[in-house]
Amino acid sequence: MEEKESAPGGGTGPESSEEGSYPPRARRTPRQRRQAAQQLTPGGLAFLVAFFVLVTTGVVWMLAYGGVSPAERARREVEKPIGPLPTGDPPPIAAAGRVIYERNCMSCHGSRLSGGSAPSLRARRYEPSRWTDQDLANVIFAGRGEMPAFKDTLSAGEIAAVVSYIRWEQGMPLPEVPESPPTQTSFHS
């Protein structure tokens, strides 16, 4: 019979029928186990780097944006009031517009344009640089979304008076004269 080569550390290898032919795994002391647990593996290092980047990004975002995304910040900016509420009595055209506004618009747009079931018209989104007087007149005339059209209810002069009242409440200059009669056109969003 041929003699089998012995495996390192004694025994004869996997073919051996003897139990425990491989050398037993070296036993670690508690100190060695702690040291092995404290060593950083490549996967552990990648996790720590990713965690550090994530936390740093979150801190920078909180400091830069105050926890609010740029889109949300822009939305909040256009929803801010244009300025303080005017005091005193409005000019005659705006006073006439106030009466019409209170009769037709206040139930949705609120007292003094403060908003309600419809948006506040004192918000920056409705300032003249974004919505011209003609745009406001067109929306009042033709309606938009859930807002009803007032073309059959209000005359062009009454619509101009309402636009004047809106601009007075916004603290903006009053329109001189309507540029043209209101029409149904495309509107701002």
The CATH number given to whatever domain includes residue 134 is 1.10.760.10
- 64 with 117, same domain: the answer is no
Q: Is the predicted pLDDT of residue 179 greater than 70, yes or no?
A: no
**Helix (H/G/I), strand (E/B), else coil: 48:** helix
Mean pLDDT of 136-144: 92
Please tell me the distance from the alpha carbon of residue 151 to that of residue 156, in angstroms, as a whole number.
Answer: 8
Sign of CA dihedral 63, 64, 69, 74: positive
Answer yes or no: do 69 and 107 share one domain: no
Task: Report which of 178, 172, 179, 180 is spatially closest to residue 91, judged by C-alpha positions.
Answer: 172
Is there a single domain that holds both residue 98 and residue 161? Answer: yes
Residue 109, domain extent? 92-170
Helix-, strand-, coil-residue percentages of the chain, each rounded to 5 = 50, 0, 50
Domain count, the chain: 2
Is residue 158 included in any domain, yes or no?
Answer: yes
Cβ burial of 101 (10 Å; 0-12, 13-18, 19+) is buried
Confidence of residue 20 (pLDDT cuts 50, 70, 90): low
Can you spell out the DSSP letters for 156-181? HHHHHHHHHHHHHHHTPPPPSS-SS-
Query: Using one digit for the tens of pLDDT, what is the confidence trace for 75-132?
Result: 788 788 887 888 888 999 999 999 999 999 999 999 988 888 988 898 888 888 888 9
Mean pLDDT of 149-160: 93
101 and 146 share a domain?
Answer: yes
For the stretch 24-36, pLDDT in tens is: 677 888 888 777 7
Angle between helices 156-170 and 133-142 (to 10 degrees): 130
The mean pLDDT of the chain is 80
What pLDDT is stored for residue 27 in this prediction? Answer: 81
Asked if pLDDT for residue 1 goes beyond 80, the answer is no
Per residue in 42-88, pLDDT tens?
888 888 899 999 999 888 877 777 777 778 877 788 788 887 888 88
165 in the same domain as 121? yes
pLDDT category at 18 given cuts 50, 70, 90 is: low
Q: What is the rounded CA–CA span in Å between residue 74 and residue 148?
A: 28
